[in-house]
A and B are shown apart, each in its own frame.
Chain A
Amino acid sequence: MSPKQRLVVIGNGMAGARTVEEILSRGGRERFDITVLGEEPHGNYNRILLSKVLSGSQDASEILLNPIDWYADNGVTLKTNSRVTTIDRDAKNVQTADGSLTDYDRLIIATGSRPMVPPFGGLRTEDGALKPGAFVFRTIEDCADIAAYARNCKRATVIGGGLLGLESARGLLEHGVEVHIVHLGSHLMEAQLDRQAAEILKRTLETMGLHIHLGRSTKCILGEDRVEGLAFADGETLNCCMTIISCGIVPNVQLAKDCGLTVKRGIVTDDQMRSVDDPDIFVVGECAEHRGRVYGLVAPLWHQGQVLADVITDTNPKALYPGSKLATKLKVMGVDLATMGITEPEGDDEVVQFNESRRGRYKKLIIRDGTLVGAILLGETEKAATLLQAFDRGSALPEDRAQLLFSLEGNKAEASVVDAPDDTQVCNCNGVCKSAIVNCVKGGRKSLKMVMEATRAGTGCGSCKAQVQQLVEWAADGAVEEDPTVHYYVPGVPLAKPELVAAVKSHELKSVSRVFDALADGREDPGSKMGLASLLKQIWGADYEDERDARYINDRVHANIQKDRTFSVIPRIYGGVTSADQLRRIADAADKYEARMVKITGGQRIDLLGIKKEDLPDVWKDLGMPSGHAYAKAFRTCKTCVGTDFCRYGLGDSTKLGIEIETRFQGLESPGKLKLATAGCPRNCSEAYVKDVGAVAVEGGRWEIYVGGAAGAHVRKGDLLCTVDSHPDVLLYVGRFLQYYRENAKYLERTYGFVERIGIAKIRAVVVEDSEELATHLDHAMQQSVDAYVDPWLEAEQPVSVHQFASQLVGASE
């Protein structure tokens, strides 16, 4: 075994220590004798949280990442208080301030950066030190010094209104000091914010008690022996007894420069974080310059450390650091701010913006070619994790951009699934937890479809699909395999909906089997059959060639299959209004066919459960009522309240209207099921606001029509489509909306998804204002469908396929 190499790390900041951790996790302890030389007396701490130490919300000990013991425990030699003075690349050693030499085979420079201190007049004492009362904010010691000085101070200034300046100003406020931020630029945080966001942030900070001066160029520090004020270029002055200089950072590059390494703004590295001059020297963190950029944020530095560790340990000698996209979060108490990428659009960039300055909320997204290139979230950052992921990966964005800005109802958990614990149940239908999904991806299944097939997550009600998708993207770490079938109308025919419709029409494909023959090389996909059947029926209407094998079992036998292979039978009860005679027939059928349960449904009907398949035709005949279509992607019910006949609040005859609606649209097939309701007043007893279509009577003999409501796995109040004067007008606009939905929705897309996707404004324009001159066509097509209605339970008398309702056949030779 070859002897261990000596690995020396200059710098024990976040970059140096993290890189050592990464190296150890790749078996680095066996390969290297590691020595870390740190200038500060501590172990490694989280510098990002220093402002919390300053504000007193965290103790210095709480932000330690690696205490002194950690180094010994991991076989790493830590030398604290060791400032490196020279690197001798020929002798391959480094010298520290105490004169001692440390030899290396490999060297990592992680010297970080220091505060930039502009040459203000009167800043320094004769010995060159900062004048008493003037501070920078970089270390735990700085924190302690600032806090101590603030005790006897009434007013403090912070020079610089960038990220760090604001954080330190907010921290100081907790010490009972009046704090003034003096900023050279015309708005705060220019690197991360646009003017509008900065203006709102300024107001938010001012309400917290901070004083903010913009466009102020500090010229010199006033005071003989200690800080007594600031003087500005415009001649004005501001009294204060202390000042914190937060004007940015400068990479610590002197050591590297002195030993002849290429230095521009930082120490120049290649894509493996290696110095371009010396193969044995690596550079990581704020002192490194990669492809012309120096990073002052923590995420890029983690990534650099991983690549460096991959390379230096030979774990992955070809690992490359591609550079980082920038995203930050402001860590100021009482302010939620997350930013990423650019702040202003260029060229044809799309901007999505929400501004509610009164409540300190502002959101702005910049989208280029369908991907997120910039975002500002101020006052509410719950979508930050989702957006950051989209930003990092350049992944596709939802068509409804509002979903990017807000957690729409029912989706609260979505944003956090990536951060959730491993045992969080993601798919509540099939009981699939987060770790199962993640492990499936790590096991090589890197598309949503594959993961759904393997784990069954998202295959129940489907409401967790977005979360599963998010987990797949996250776990695949950018290596998601695009599943081409997501763009197809059905997975088994490689065409999107418009191309498929065109092909179906041009080849005159009127049956599902002909579509497979003509467009899928004859390969039948059972999972595609129902979607194709729905589409063909839509295209061909009465000319559609119905093949019963393309139907789901429920649609073959016009009843809903149950877990024990029996069926549920729900006759149509128009508007939920029944009669003693109907009830007697239902009761008799329940007895005769031994229904195991008789249940009042949510749709104001009666369900006979536990009916055997072979008994279905006889049950229907005995009932003498039409099918309620409680099994189909079709119009199901119209719930009603008692309206004006009995109710003392009723404003409109909702019962009569409901029966009219149900009589007209019964059994109408559609991309998803349709549940409607009418309410006699806005008290909404029949839940009309949360139905696919709801009509609500309002004072003045008028009806409000709501569309796109839902109260299932997804809950949504419908959007008001229009208000009309009469029952015939309700039927007209409901019919026109339903036809528009039938022609334009995706297969299985419920109205709530359709209305959100298309937008109520567009739908209203088409359906009510007839902006596209489609009304005549829509009304005509709907009338044709209504006229074509046939009660499927008539198949009791005339079965359409052999042994349509048979349970079991016996062999010919039995």
Chain B
Amino acid sequence: MSLSTVVRRDLGPADRIPLGEGREFDVMGQIVAVFRSRNGQIYATQASCPHRGGPLADGLLGGATVICPLHARKFDLETGRSVADDCFLRTYPVYLDDNGHLILDFDTAELPVFEKFE
């Protein structure tokens, strides 16, 4: 078992993401979608839709819901649950620091798993 170590990453100023949209970030080789909702919240999830790999960061965002641009699967960004309840997104803790930077907490224990797929 690899040790679980939480790494904290600064993704830069929040306004790198236009209000109401999402952008993908490369975090130590792993791609994460970060969303800046007009409801004031920031969300971070896995970047690809579990259905057919659609880029969720390019989806339409409203409140805590994102719609995948490929086949319109809908997800709740807080829980990662799909509206049809047939698949899940991995979610990551993310917040704004005092400088208005996006801070993402990331568990390195997951990295080897992803390397296996590379």
Contact = CB atoms under 8 A, between A and B. Distances in A.
Interface of A: 453-456, 459, 492, 513, 516, 522-530, 547-550, 552-553, 556, 561, 563-565, 801-803, 806-814
A549 B61 contact: yes
A492 B62 contact: yes
B60 A529 contact: yes
B83 A453 contact: yes
Contacts of A492: 62
22 contacts: A453-B74, A454-B84, A454-B85, A459-B72, A516-B62, A524-B38, A524-B62, A525-B62, A525-B65, A526-B63, A526-B74, A527-B62, A527-B74, A547-B20, A550-B60, A553-B55, A565-B53, A565-B55, A801-B18, A803-B23, A809-B24, A811-B25
Given A527-B62, A548-B18, A812 B55 contact: no
Contact of B24 (A524, A529, A552, A808): A808
Interface of B: 9-13, 15-21, 23-28, 31, 37-39, 52-55, 58-63, 65-67, 69-72, 74, 83-85, 101, 104
B83 to A, nearest CB: 6
Contacts of B12: 809, 811-812
A553 B58 contact: yes
Q: Which of A455, A459, A516, A814 has most B Cβ within 10 Å?
A: A814
B38 A513 contact: yes
Q: Which of A524, A528, A561, A803 has most B Cβ within 10 Å?
A: A524
B82 to A, nearest CB: 10
Contact of A523 (B63, B71, B104): B63
A526 B54 contact: no
A402 B43 CA distance: 50
Nearest to B12: A812
A309 B58 CA distance: 57
A524 B63 contact: yes
Please list the 7 inter-chain residue pairs (A to B) with the smallest Cβ-Cβ separation, ordered nearest first: A549-B20, A526-B62, A524-B62, A812-B12, A526-B60, A553-B58, A801-B18
Nearest to B34: A809
A808 to B, nearest CB: 5
B109 to A, nearest CB: 19
A97 B28 CA distance: 94
Contacts of B66: 526
Given A553-B69, A561-B70, A808-B26, A525 B63 contact: yes
B18 A802 contact: yes
B9 A811 contact: yes
Contact of A526 (B27, B67, B70): B67
A565 B11 contact: no
Given A565-B53, A803-B18, 20 more contacts: A454-B84, A455-B84, A522-B39, A524-B39, A524-B63, A526-B60, A527-B74, A529-B62, A530-B60, A552-B60, A553-B55, A556-B58, A561-B58, A563-B70, A802-B16, A808-B25, A808-B26, A808-B31, A811-B104, A814-B28
A801 B55 CA distance: 18
A573 B10 CA distance: 46
Nearest to A530: B60
B10 A812 contact: yes
Contacts of A454: 84-85
Contacts of B27: 811
A810 B54 CA distance: 20
Given A526-B65, A527-B62, A812-B12, A548 B31 contact: no
A285 B80 CA distance: 56
B20 A550 contact: yes
Contacts of A453: 74, 83-84
Contact of A549 (B11, B19, B83, B84): B19
Contact of B67 (A527, A564, A565, A813): A527
A549 B22 CA distance: 9
Q: Which of A516, A549, A561 has most B Cβ within 10 Å?
A: A549
A454 B74 CA distance: 11
A549 B65 contact: no
Q: Which of A453, A530, A811 has most B Cβ within 10 Å?
A: A811
Contact of B11 (A459, A526, A556, A811): A811
Contacts of A523: 63
A648 B104 CA distance: 69
A160 to B, nearest CB: 58
Nearest to B82: A453
B21 A801 contact: yes
A549 B71 CA distance: 18
A813 B58 contact: no
Contacts of B72: 459
Contacts of B13: 812
Contacts of A812: 10-13, 101
Nearest to B104: A811
Nearest to A549: B20
A563 B52 CA distance: 8
B45 to A, nearest CB: 15
A806 B23 contact: yes
A561 B9 CA distance: 30
Contacts of B23: 803, 806, 809
Nearest to B55: A565
Contacts of B74: 453, 526-527
A812 B100 CA distance: 12
B84 A456 contact: yes
B25 A810 contact: yes
Given A524-B63, A525-B62, A526-B67, A548 B38 contact: no
A803 B20 contact: no
Nearest to A459: B72
Contact of B21 (A455, A548, A808, A814): A548
Contacts of B53: 563-565
Contact of A803 (B16, B67, B69, B101): B16
A555 B23 CA distance: 16
Contacts of B39: 522, 524
Contacts of A564: 53
A549 B53 CA distance: 21
Nearest to B65: A526
Contacts of A807: 24
A524 to B, nearest CB: 4
